[in-house]
Structure 1
Amino acid sequence: MKTITISIDAYEALSKLKRPGESFSDVILRLTKRRSLLDLAGVWRDVNDEELDKAMKEIREAWLKWSIKTE
């Protein structure tokens, strides 16, 4: 086991992503796991058009906010 120091902002971001029963180590490993594109095949097959439109709108809004922050 190793101890690391992170900023309060990083802690809060990880805390928001933490699932019930998950440790912070679990969150970090989940987020940093290299995945194959094939792992995502079929993930959206049960999503109807309305849900897909809503998700795409949220993704576009998040991308816009992120791109403005990084300028």
Structure 2
Amino acid sequence: MGTKTIGVKDDVYDRLKARKREDESFTDLVNRLLDEATMDWDEGFGTLDAEEAEELEQVVETSRKQTSAGLAERQQEALEELTDAEDADEAA
């Protein structure tokens, strides 16, 4: 297994060194930090409290209603334009 040399700013090095355990290398430290930072995709599910969940549901419902209303309005406008175009073709 090969090695790579990377450059980090002095303050980053100091922060890493402060977290490094006495018995671990910097490679071990980076591996440990990466393992700690790796999260399962579902780890955060179910963490909203009841109030936050209710607020989110309200926001989603409002968004759905606005989207639905916007779509219905655009559909109506498109139908009116088609009807007007057909009427114009018949009159010609």
Report the TM-score, using the length of structure 2 for normalisation. 0.37
From the two aligned structures, give the one with the greater helix fraction.
2
